[in-house]
Structure formats: C-alpha cells, structure tokens
Structure 1
Amino acid sequence: MLAGCHQAHLGPCRSPLVPRNPGTMQQLGHHMEPGTYLTGGRPRDPLTRRGSNLVRYAVGEWTSPPGFSSRSGPPKDGGRKDEHAGESRNREAIFESNQDNLGALEVVDKLLRLGAAPPEDKVFRLLSGYLVDCRADDRFATDVIDGLRKQPELAIQVLRFMLTNNIPLPHLRLLFRKVFHYNKAISACDKAGRWQLVEGLLREMQETKVAPDKFSYNWATSAYVKGGEWQLAQSLLHEMLERKLTPTQISFNTVISACRNAFQLQPALGLLRTMSTNAVLPDVKSYGAVLSACEKDGEWQLALHLLSEMAQKSVKPDEIIVNTLISAFTKGGQWKWVLKLLAGMPQMQLAPNHIVCTNAINACGSVGEWQMVLVLLRSMLGSKLTPDDTCLSSAMNAFKEAAQWQQALSLLGQSGQRGQTSNPLDYNFAMSACERAGEWEVTLSLLNEMPGAKVVPDQVTFNTAIKACATGGQWKLSMRLLSGMSQAKLTPGVMSFTGAIAACAAGDQWQLALRIFFSMQSERSVQPNEFSCSAAIAACSKGDKAELGVRLLEMMPEMSVLQNAVSYSAAISGCEKAGRWQLALSLLAEMPRKSVMQDEVSYKSAISACYKANQWRQALDLFSEMPSRSVTPGVLCFNAAIGACSEGALWREAFTLLSSMPSGSVRPNAISFNAVISVCAKVGEWQLALHLLSNMHMASAVPDGYSYSAAISACDVALQWERALILFTQMPERSVKPNLFCFNAAISACASDGRWQLALQLLKAMPEGGLTPDAVSMNAAMSACSKFKDLWQVALGILFSSGRSLGASQIDYGVAITACANGDQWPMALHLLRTLPAISLRPEVVAYSAAIASCRNARWQLGLCLLREMQEQELTPDRIAYDAACDATCTMPAGIELFRESFALELHPNLLRKGYEQLDLHGESPGSAELAVRWWLAEVVPHFLGKPDTPKSVAIITGRGLHRQWFKTSDIKTDVCRLLDQYGLQTVLLSKNPGIILLPTKSLDVTLLRSLFILPE
C-alpha cells in the first residue's frame, strides 16, 4: 500500500514517513519487523507500536502530519488554499497508511469537524458512542489524543473525557515531551480526580528531563489534595521551594485545607509558618483552615493565639472564622471566651448573624450556662435579630440539658406569640426539659397541646412522654401511651418499650415490666437492646427479685445483646436492695471475666450492698481496691464509702475520705458533707460537725435541711442543746427552711436537757411551718416531759392528742409509761401497759421496763411480777428492765438475786476495772449502784485482804456525781458515800479527782464485808 501511495505522486517527492534526517531512512524498510524501533534495530516497545508517527510529528521529528502529502514546498500563497481539502487528504493518507488504525482516525475526523474549541458537552456526546472501543483496546484512546496534537484544547477535552470515564491510558506518558503538554495533561487529571496518573506524569517528566514549572506543581498539588493525599501535596510544596519556585497563596491554602480535612494540625500549622518565611502572605483562608484544624483537634488555646496573630498581621476575620473559633471554644468548655468573641465582633466590622448566635447559644448550653442563653436571646431581640428555628431549638436544647422546664415553656410560648410555627423538635426539647425536672404532668400536658398547635407528635415525642411517666411512677399512663402510638400511626421502638418497662418498675409492677420485655420480640418483633435489658433487670430489683435480675443478665447473650456495665450495675443494685451482698460481690468480680469494664456505678452499688448489710469493712476494702482495677472513684463511690464509715461509726475515716476528695479531682457535694456530719452526730463530735457545716460553701456545696438536722443531732448527742437551738434559729437567715428532721433533732436536743417548754414550743411551731409532727416529734416532746414528776399529764396529753393513741407505737407508750413512773403514777402506768393488747400492740421490753420502774418502793413485789411476766412472754429483760427492778428492790433481799441475774447476763460489762480493785459505777442506776457496791465489798474485796500483795486501797469510781439514766438524773456519789458511812467504813476523797472514793484496805473487816450481801435465812 505504501508503494501505491508513492506511485500516485508525480515528480520528486518525499514520503510522509521520511524523517527530516535522511540518514534514518537506511534503518527503515517497507517490511519492518514488528517490535523494532523506528530509529534503530532495537526491539520496539509494544506499548508504542501504534500511533508512533503521530508522536514523532508532535515532537517535531516529521515535516508534516502522518498521511499528509508534503510537496517540494509550501503553497505559493503561503498557506493551504483549501483547509478542508488538506484535512481530507490527511484522512485519506492516514487511511491508506494505517488501515489498522481506522477506528481512532474516524473519531479524530469527527472531532476535527467540531472546530478548534468546541463545547465540551458536544465532545463528550460524540465520544460516548466509542466507550466500548476505548475499553476494548487500551491504545484506542491514546491514538485519538495523538491525532489531535495540533488541537491541544480539543485533545485535553478528550483526555478529560477518558479520565472521567476511567478509560485506561497506559501509553499516555509517551505523548508528552514539553512542559506545556504535561501541564495540560496534569490539569485534565486534576479535574477528573485521577491523582495516580499525575504521579506517573511527574515521574515521566523527571525521566525525560522536562523540568516542571509552578503550573505543573500547582495542578499536581490540586490533584493530590482532591485525592486526599495531603502528604504528597505537602512534599510537592517543599519540592517547589527547593527548586526556587515559590508556591502561590492558593497552593498553600489548598494543602493547608487538605491537612485540615485529614485532622493534621501540626503539618497545617507548619505550612502556615512556611508561608511567612517564604514571603507569601497568609490570608483569611490560610488562617481559617488552620483554625479549623485547631477546632477539630480541640486546641482552643492555639486558636486564640492565631486570632491574636491575625490582628498583628492585619488579617481581618470573617464570619466563618468566628464560627470556627466559637466551635473550638465550645469543645473546650470556654463559654466565656465565646461571649468575649461575640462582644468583639463589632470591632472586627462583623455583625452577629443567626449562625454565630446559634453557635454561641450551643456553647453556653453545653456547660449548663442556661442564664447566658437567656441573655443571648434577649440581645438578639434587642438588635432586631429574630431568632430562627435553629436558634430556638438550640436554646430549647440548652434548657432541656439544664432541666429548666419553666424557661423551655416560656420560650415555646414566645415563639408562638411571634408567629413562628412550632415544630416537633421544639416540643420534644420542652417535654424533655420537663421530664428531667420530674414534671411529668407538665410533660403530658404538652403532648396533649400539640394537636391544637397543629404539630404532629413523632416517635421521640411519645418516648419522652413515656419516660416522664416512669419519672412519676405512672405506669398505667405509660401503657396507654404505648398503645396510643399505634393509633397515631407510629411504630413503638425499643426506647418506647424501655420507657414503659421503667415506668412499670417505678410503679412496683415488676411482673408487668417483664411481660412487656418478653413481648417485645415475640409479638412486636422489636429486638431488645442493652437499655431495655437493664430496665427489666432494674424492675426485678424493685420487686426484690435479685435472683431473677441475675437470670436476665445471664440471658442477654442468648438474646444477642451484649452485657455491659449498666446491666451489671442494675443487677448488683438489685442485690443491694435484697441484702445479697455476697451475690453483689460475685457479680462485680465476674465483670472482667466477661470483658465488661467495671465502672464507678458498679462499684458504688457493690459498696452500698456491703455496708447496708452491715459489712462495712468489706465495703471499705472494695473502695480501696478501685485504683488497682483502673477505676477512678467519683463522688458516688466516695459517698458510699463514707456511708460505710457511718455504719461503723468511723468518724475519723469518714473525715479523711472527705478531705481526700479534692486531691482526687472529685468535688464533694452536699450528700458527701451530710454523710460525714451524720457520722459525727452518732459519736457526738459536735465541733467537727459544726466545722464541716460552716465550710460547705468553700467546696461549692450548699447546706440543706439534712445538713442542719445532722449537725443539730450531733449537738444533741453531745448534750449541747443551746448550740443545737442556735443552729436551728440560724436556718432562716441562711435561706434554709427547717424540715421535719430539723424540728425533730431540735426537739430531741431540748428533751435531752429537760427543756420541755422549748420542746413544746417547737412542736407547736411545726404546723405553722407547714409540717405535720410525726411519731419522732411527739416522742421527743413526750420524752422532754417524762423527766419531770409533774408533767406526766402533759405527756399523756401529747399521746392522746388528735387520736394519736390509736396509731401510737411501742416507743410512744413506753415514754408515756415512763412519765407516769416519774410522776409516781403506777396505776396509770399499769393501765397503759394493759391497754397495749387492746390496740393490737404486743407489750415489748420498753413498755415493761417503764412499768417496772413505776413500782419502786412499796410496790416492789408488783415490779418483780412484771419482770417474771416478761420472761413468761419470752421477752428477755434488758439493762433498763433490771435497773428498774433493782431500783425498786435495792433495799430488799430480792434485789440481791436480781443483781446476780443481771450480772450473769453480762449487763454490767464495765463494772470491774484494774483486776477487780476498782468498781466503776458509770451508767448505773441508783438501785443497781447500791447493790453493786454491796456485792463488790462482800464478794470481791475480801479476796485482796490478808495477802502479801494486798493493795493499800481499793476504789469506787462514781464520776462527779450526776449520772444520767433513761428517765432521770441521780446523785450516785452522795448515795454511795451515805451507804459507806452507814456501814462505818473509812473513806478517802481525792481533791484532784473528786469522782473517786478510796477505801484503805487496812481498815476493812472481812466479816463485816461478807455480811453486806447475804440473803436472809
């Protein structure tokens, strides 16, 4: 075919295949072997087998395009007379010389007919018909681009089409030999998102020693950034600097943005610094990208520094930067900086818009600063910037998180007054705020209000309402709402059922809760999750079904639900309520074996389970092991541990725990202080209790009624009734309203010191404060009166006031009988004792003991009968009963037998001291003290006499003389001294310690002593 082509020309001519360098013709042959280079006998690269002529023409090695008949010179008119005729001859020549290239040439022909710069959509439409050819032959696309080398814009459009449609171009790199061509190709790859081809083109440029220029780098950088290859883009920038090619501001910004998108703060910051060192001024986009990286990385301090740097370099922030800074400050909890930035916007010549204000509201709301949310809303209205729906929803969410239900309702109403249409989201936020504040009734009223406001409730609305029912224990309403979802054409989800289960649990309907739980999957095809399982376990806990809760926990893997810390904590809490502390410890130890991380809540439940079962040592051991288990104790665990100290009356340990909380980054709350003050109250450490109460504000803990009641009780136990009343009177000044416990503690403090007038005044003041006296109040007031002989009628008046006698307890009747005993009203005392069975109360030890005390002196036989009656009723007489009997019979022979019984029952554990050489009468009643002295002198002291090691004296310890018993105060020392004088025994009183009576052993007669405690024949 080539020969035929040569014969068609007249005169001397040069074949279009003849190179400019004639020497190369010697290496060409008509029957050239496939696989050889055109310029030599070396094996030809199969990748360049076709289209090689086009490449050579493009790089200037051929005098005319392939297939174009080149005559001895150009036309005489200096150009082609007929351009279309020339193109036609080109196509014919190509056809004749390359029949195997027919498809590509056909495409080239059609493209050339579109003109030099046709619209891209026309090019794409034309090429779409050849997609099959392009994909079938990996050299087809290369040949088409090769044929358009004289039309670079059109060639780039074709290249862009090929890249867009993912057409493989394995020979593309051989088509370019100039930087201009490479730049066009890299640009096309950039626009098509083919960064991998860009990498190959750059490598080819190095191999062919074509130096990239700044355009090459800029397009390549853009391609890498679009492909998410920020490292490659960054390396290109550094390579440009090494080649003394300064990247443009746009290039830097592009790569910084890529680093930002890849969460690479330090590289982005380094590029920003590189801009300044290379005389490229960072602009607002440069700083904006780095600030965005700071926001993503939580580096609000660095963002603040960059803002200051912008001011120094006169780079004016825009709204985007302001929003980015607000977001960074919000993540760092720096709501005050948000407000400062907002206030400084006028100086930046920026006006706050809805987006900025909404972000500021979110910042304040995220840290619970709902008051500032109100301020921002008011400032928006003051600046005639009406909050939009997004802004209002953000404010609603802030009120919801802070449980500020009144503010949420107010905002909801104001939006309606401004003509703004409420949406389900606003109602959901408002309802959630009410639910969190425990206002379940208001929550349900909002649900009922929605149809009138033309707002359609969604699933979240019903879920919130059902959850509110759980808060209020309204299990019936929750069931009604659950069934009402179907009527509203809503499908109950797992959270709907979870709320209903929790509501049933709160209403002590644990069976119904379990029925709902098991019907979820069987009837509604709703898969339980960890929340519903935990709610069901908690329901078992409410029903004291700890074992059933543990069984549900074990069933969770069978239901394809992962056991977690919440479910284990719920089961451990059930053990706590059921007193199963061993099972609670077993579950806690099982958690690591089940790959469940122990947390503060699980430890808190286990600690509480132990100390409530009086296993306070085990509870404290659990608290001590938490750090070794990588569990940081929080305020819940500290409070539980302090509660354990309370059970063990360990006030020092409790105070140590409270003092150590700040060092563990734990802020004590009011419950923490109240627990320690309560421990102090148990042991009478009133000074420490008052110190803690006065220093609560230093830990940002606000004293409440329980704080004051515990402190008043501490003063009561320590017989500091005046300080107790001072605390009580200070409460209104400290804006603390006295509660029932405060009144009871104050009345008890007055009763302890016999201040019956004050006790009755406090009792009378309770209804004025909106409080109803309870059994403790009445009992304390009666106790105050029972200590005085003439007030027995007042005590009985309190007992029978408002029909209380029918609802009175054993303790109440015991105090009333005691009042009668002190008033020498033994018939009334016995009458009250016999009345107990008539009001369905079985007489207990307290009532019997009081009645026995009323039978002293001439009625001692009756007292003995009552004591024996107790034993017949299978009641074990206590110390109080024996003391009362001994007081009645101390001068009778029966007293000796009673004292022996009580001593054998170990009711006087601290009576003998220092090897029996000392008799300690602390806490003894007058009758028991007299009998103890006689017994000790008759049966103990004689064993010391007449021996080499006989002590010089023996001692009776009476204290300073006034001993408090359960019903009166007696002068034990005076009674003992009178008794010893009666027996003619020599005594020595120590001036330094008047509470001790010494008896010199030399003056003691054994015969006389033994006669002091002998029953008559």
Structure 2
Amino acid sequence: RIGLVESPNPFVETKLVSMYAKCGYLDDARRVFEQMRKRNLFTWSAIIGACCRERRWREVVKLFYLMMEDGVVPDHFLLPKILQACCHCGGMRTTKLIHSLAVRCGFSSSIRVSNSILAVYARFGELSWARRFFENMDERDRVSWNAIISGYCHQGQSEEAHRLLDTMTKIGIEPGLVTWNILIASYNQLGCTDASMELMKKMESFGINPDVFTWTSMISGFAQNNKRSQALDLFREMLLAGVKPNGITIISAVSACASLRSLQKGLEIHSYAIRIGFIVDMLVGNSLIDLYSKCGELEDARKVFDIVIEKDVYTWNSMIGGYCQAGYCGMAYELFMKMRESDVPPNVITWNAMISGYIQNGDEDEAINLFQRMEKDGKVKRNTASWNSLISGYLQLGEKDKALGIFRQMQSYRVSPNSVTILSVLPACSNLIAANKVKEIHGCVFRRNLESELPVANSLIDTYAKSGNMEYSKSIFDGLSSKDIITW
C-alpha cells in the first residue's frame, strides 16, 4: 500500500517471502518471490527452506537449478536442505553435482554438508561412493557413522555394518541409541533374530537402555520369523522395563497372538491398550479383528470393526473372511453388500473369500454365481486364487470330477495354475483309474516350471505311486536335487 514492493527493495521482499513461508502461506511466498527482479542468497534460502518445511522435495531440487542459473551459489547452511530433498526424491545426479560444488567452494570441510552428501549416497545404495567419501572425510561424528552403517544395513550387509560399529567404538566414538537401533532392525529384517538379541544385550552392556523402537523392532522381527511365543515374551519384558508401546508394537504383539490362536494373551494386550488410553485406529483395529476372527470370537471382532471409523479394504476383508470361515455366509454377504456401497470397493481377496465361504459351506450355486458376477458386476479380474477357491471347495465336498473340471476350465481361460492349484488337484487323481489325469497335471507342472518346488514334486511322487505308475514316481524322485523326509 505504501509502495515498498512496487519499488524494488530486495530486503523488504525477502522479509515478505520469509514471513509468508513461516506462516504457512507458501503460494503467497512463491508469488512474491517470482515477482522479485533481484534475488540474493537469503531470498533463495527463504523459499527453499519453506519448500522443505512443506516437504515439496521436487520443488526444492528445481529451485536449486534455477538458483544456479541465476548465478547465486548456495552456502553451507543451504546445501544440507537441498541434499535432504535429494534424499527424498532420488536426486543422485544432483547429489554428485552438489558434491563437486562443495569441493570447489570449500564446503567439504563442513561436517553438516559432508554428512548430508554421505546420507544420500548411503540411502540409495551407492556404497562404493559412500565408503570412499566416508574414508576421505576430514572429520567424522556420530551422524557420519550412523549414515554409513545405515547404508550397509539397507543393502542387507549387516555384518559389515556390525564391523563398522565395532570400529566406531574402538576409536572412541560411542554408538548412540540410534546407531544400535539401525543395526538391530537390520538383523531382524534379515531374519537373524539371534544376532539381534545378542546385539541388544551388547547395547545394554554399554549402559544404553532399549527404547520403544528397539523393543518394537525385536517384537516384530521375532513375530515375522515364526518365533511368536518369544515375541510375546519380549512384549512382556518391555512392559516390565516400563517402556510404553506404540501402535506398531501393539499390532506386532496382537498379530503374534492371532497366529498362535492365543485368545487369552490377545485379550490381555487389548485390555492393556484400553487401560493406557490407546486409541484403536485402523491398523490396530485390523490386527484385533484378525485375532478375534481367527479365534472364533466374531462378536468381539464385530465390536472392534464397528468402532474403527476409517476402514480400509483389509478391515472389511478381515471381518468378511472371519464370517465366511465360521460358516456365517449370510452375515458375510450382508457386510459384503455394505462394502460395495461404501467408498472402499471389494477387491479380488474379498470376492475370493466370499466364493470360498459359500462353496466350503455347501452352497455351490451361490459360489458359482459370485464367481461369474465377479468380473461383470464387481469389475474385478479373477486371479489364480479365485479358481483355487472353487477347486479346493469342490474337493472338500468330495466332488473330485467337478474340481478337475474347474482345473481344465481354468487352463482354457489361460489362467496359470500355481503350486496351491497343483497340490489341491493331485490328491483327486490318486487311484488307478486316474493315471492319465495325473500325466495331464504333470504336463501342466512341467510347462509352468513348478516341478522344482519340493512340495509339488513330493505330491507328484505320491500320486504316481498311488495310481500304479512307480516308474514315473521313481523318475521324479531321482531327478530331485534336494529331498526331505516326505520325499523319502
């Protein structure tokens, strides 16, 4: 109004850009910025910093190139922000350009700039660049070590990461909690739960207590690697240590209970979550619905389902699947129709669950009806599992010929069977009359390269033997590179 913006005043304009940006009005900040005739380092820093706060990473990278075209060189305060953007949008070319710029401008001696460059190289698996850069750094702090250790962990090279941690301690830099957590999480993701347990004990020997992230990594790692009872023991230890779980901890513990069908422990965890005021969000709700459904407690599952406000497809599928498995196909269908009216349409898993539910409960007509409506009404393409649902359902009803008929129909539609299909249909041929059918299925196995899967090979050996063809059975046995007790 008083004419300060119309008459070029870089100082006032820069302050306006900064003010708009800090107040969250990025579009207004950008408008003032673009109207400026002359922009200096402070102006560029203000707009780039604002884009970083709004997580507009690609804009940050574009602004960096515009800045360079404008003849303004970023300083050692701004470069880490641009490198942070590279970290989020995969700007490896930009990172290498900044690396060379930092060397030319003498910024490579800045620990903040060096750590930022190292972090991008490490994050995107450029370990040769990262290691070379790390070794040539004038100064390294705990952040530098965390970055290189994290890089090796992300690439599954936990042993090398562990060696770096040992080197770090030898030269007198004590690893912090973050460093230990990075390595523990890496071992758990690789399934090396014994190594992660040893590492946690080693961490405690250094006087560092596990936090919620350490415990959660351990619990989820053990649960995902079929050590679910131990995962629940760890959850109990965590509570005794006075560490409050987060949502992921609760989900991991409840999922372990669901896999073990341990209703009592699941109830205890649910009760604890309520006592500490934990809000049942979508992800926690999904795990609880899965637990109660698997344990046959459908009323409790439905109560959780009803209180979850934001439902995703997994929420609906868990509840529908629970009803189907328990034989309550009517209730499943009612919920299925509500799902179709909601903003979360049924997916292929939903349709398959409904088909399986009906056919396993003897309602062949409704199962076939859903199977046929799936693509036309539901606009959902049938997959191998859809056909498998019918095949396994017919076999459970003792309808072997119908199961084999569906198998042939499946092939005529050019749908590739998988090992589940083969393992379902082969037992239907285990008699002397079905010898030709076994060969037909074997041909399909050969064409799909499924013979290398040991369970499939074992089933073929068994079925050929039962149908009186020991020669074929022995041939498959002799051709196996590895055998288990079932093969013998």
TM interval, shorter chain, is 0.7 to 0.9
Deviation at 1:550, TM superposition (A): 2.2
Shift in CA distance, 779/449, structure 1 to aligned 2, threshold 3 Å? farther
CA distance in 1: counterparts of 2:234 and 2:421, whole angstroms: 40
Counterpart for residue 576 of structure 1: 188
Secondary structure class of the residue paired with 2:146: helix
Shift in CA distance, 460/745, structure 1 to aligned 2, threshold 3 Å? farther
Quick one: which of 545, 567, 570 aligns to 2:179? 567
Which letter does structure 1 place at the counterpart of 2:327? L
Deviation at 1:573, TM superposition (A): 0.6
CA distance in 1: counterparts of 2:278 and 2:34, whole angstroms: 45
1:425 aligns with 2:425: no
- The one-character-per-residue Cα deviations of 1:317-373 (angstroms, maximum 9, x if unpaired) are xxxxxxxxxxxxxxxxxxxxxxxxxxxxxxxxxxxxxxxxxxxxxxxxxxxxxxxxx
CA distance in 2: counterparts of 1:689 and 1:584, whole angstroms: 34
CA distance in 1: counterparts of 2:63 and 2:350, whole angstroms: 38
Q: Is the 8 A contact 2:324 2:332 kept in 1?
A: yes
Deviation at 1:851, TM superposition (A): 9.7
Deviation at 1:531, TM superposition (A): 2.9
Counterpart for residue 11 of structure 2: none
Deviation at 1:418, TM superposition (A): 7.1
Quick one: which of 55, 58, 61 aligns to 1:444? 61
Q: Is the 8 A contact 2:191 2:225 kept in 1?
A: yes
Shift in CA distance, 480/812, structure 1 to aligned 2, threshold 3 Å? farther
1:660 aligns with 2:272: yes
Deviation at 1:535, TM superposition (A): 2.9
Q: Is the 8 A contact 2:289 2:301 kept in 1?
A: yes
Quick one: which of 124, 138, 149 aligns to 1:525? 138
Which letter does structure 2 place at the counterpart of 1:726? E
Quick one: which of 314, 317, 331 aligns to 1:723? 331
Structure-to-structure mapping, 1:254-403, within 5 angstroms: 388-396=16-24
CA distance in 1: counterparts of 2:86 and 2:377, whole angstroms: 37
Q: Is the 8 A contact 1:670 1:707 kept in 2?
A: yes
Structure-to-structure mapping, 1:871-882, within 5 angstroms: 874=483
Q: Is the 8 A contact 1:763 1:777 kept in 2?
A: no
1:486 aligns with 2:102: yes
Which letter does structure 2 place at the counterpart of 1:752? Q
Structure-to-structure mapping, 1:152-231, within 5 angstroms: none
Q: Is the 8 A contact 2:254 2:269 kept in 1?
A: yes
Q: Is the 8 A contact 1:541 1:549 kept in 2?
A: yes
Shift in CA distance, 516/717, structure 1 to aligned 2, threshold 3 Å? same
Shift in CA distance, 631/657, structure 1 to aligned 2, threshold 3 Å? same
Counterpart for residue 8 of structure 2: none
Q: Which runs of 5+ in 1 are unaligned?
A: 1-386, 397-406, 879-904, 906-1017
Secondary structure class of the residue paired with 1:661: helix
Which letter does structure 2 place at the counterpart of 1:715? Y
Larger Rg: 1
1:649 aligns with 2:261: yes
Q: Is the 8 A contact 1:471 1:506 kept in 2?
A: no
CA distance in 2: counterparts of 1:709 and 1:500, whole angstroms: 44
Shift in CA distance, 684/471, structure 1 to aligned 2, threshold 3 Å? farther
Deviation at 1:650, TM superposition (A): 1.9
Shift in CA distance, 668/868, structure 1 to aligned 2, threshold 3 Å? same
CA distance in 2: counterparts of 1:526 and 1:739, whole angstroms: 54
Q: Is the 8 A contact 2:86 2:120 kept in 1?
A: yes
Counterpart for residue 230 of structure 2: 618
CA distance in 1: counterparts of 2:355 and 2:62, whole angstroms: 43
Secondary structure class of the residue paired with 1:727: helix
Counterpart for residue 591 of structure 1: 203
Deviation at 1:669, TM superposition (A): 3.1
Quick one: which of 831, 840, 863 aligns to 2:440? 831
Deviation at 1:601, TM superposition (A): 0.7
Q: Is the 8 A contact 1:600 1:634 kept in 2?
A: yes
Shift in CA distance, 664/836, structure 1 to aligned 2, threshold 3 Å? same
Structure-to-structure mapping, 1:665-676, within 5 angstroms: 665-676=277-288
Which letter does structure 1 place at the counterpart of 2:216? K
Which letter does structure 2 place at the counterpart of 1:809? N
Quick one: which of 465, 468, 480 aligns to 1:862? 468
1:735 aligns with 2:334: no
CA distance in 2: counterparts of 1:413 and 1:520, whole angstroms: 36
Deviation at 1:866, TM superposition (A): 7.3
Secondary structure class of the residue paired with 2:226: coil
Shift in CA distance, 608/458, structure 1 to aligned 2, threshold 3 Å? same
Q: Is the 8 A contact 1:553 1:563 kept in 2?
A: yes
1:795 aligns with 2:407: yes
Secondary structure class of the residue paired with 1:631: coil
- The one-character-per-residue Cα deviations of 1:917-936 (angstroms, maximum 9, x if unpaired) are xxxxxxxxxxxxxxxxxxxx
Q: Is the 8 A contact 1:763 1:781 kept in 2?
A: no
Which letter does structure 2 place at the counterpart of 1:519? R
Deviation at 1:751, TM superposition (A): 5.0
- The one-character-per-residue Cα deviations of 1:366-415 (angstroms, maximum 9, x if unpaired) are xxxxxxxxxxxxxxxxxxxxx9334312233xxxxxxxxxx85x455444
Deviation at 1:627, TM superposition (A): 4.1
Which letter does structure 1 place at the counterpart of 2:145? C
Deviation at 1:846, TM superposition (A): 5.1
Which letter does structure 1 place at the counterpart of 2:203? M
Shift in CA distance, 844/433, structure 1 to aligned 2, threshold 3 Å? same
Deviation at 1:579, TM superposition (A): 1.9
Q: Is the 8 A contact 2:123 2:150 kept in 1?
A: no
Deviation at 1:576, TM superposition (A): 0.4
Deviation at 1:600, TM superposition (A): 0.8
State which drifts further: 792-801 or 842-851: 842-851
Counterpart for residue 780 of structure 1: 389
Shift in CA distance, 584/705, structure 1 to aligned 2, threshold 3 Å? same
Secondary structure class of the residue paired with 1:724: helix
CA distance in 1: counterparts of 2:60 and 2:411, whole angstroms: 44
Shift in CA distance, 475/735, structure 1 to aligned 2, threshold 3 Å? same
State which drifts further: 681-690 or 543-552: 681-690
CA distance in 1: counterparts of 2:402 and 2:475, whole angstroms: 29
CA distance in 2: counterparts of 1:443 and 1:417, whole angstroms: 15
Q: Which runs of 5+ in 2 are unaligned?
A: 1-14
Which letter does structure 1 place at the counterpart of 2:55? C
Which letter does structure 1 place at the counterpart of 2:168? M
Counterpart for residue 553 of structure 1: 165
TM-score by length of 2: 0.76
CA distance in 2: counterparts of 1:502 and 1:743, whole angstroms: 45
Secondary structure class of the residue paired with 1:423: helix
Instruction: Between the two structures, name the one with larger relative contact order (CA 8 Å, sep ≥ 6).
Output: 2
1:706 aligns with 2:314: yes
Q: Is the 8 A contact 1:517 1:532 kept in 2?
A: no
Secondary structure class of the residue paired with 2:195: helix
Deviation at 1:594, TM superposition (A): 1.4
Q: Is the 8 A contact 1:785 1:792 kept in 2?
A: no
Which letter does structure 2 place at the counterpart of 1:833? H
Q: Is the 8 A contact 1:658 1:673 kept in 2?
A: no
Deviation at 1:848, TM superposition (A): 6.5
- Residue identity over aligned pairs, in percent, reads 17
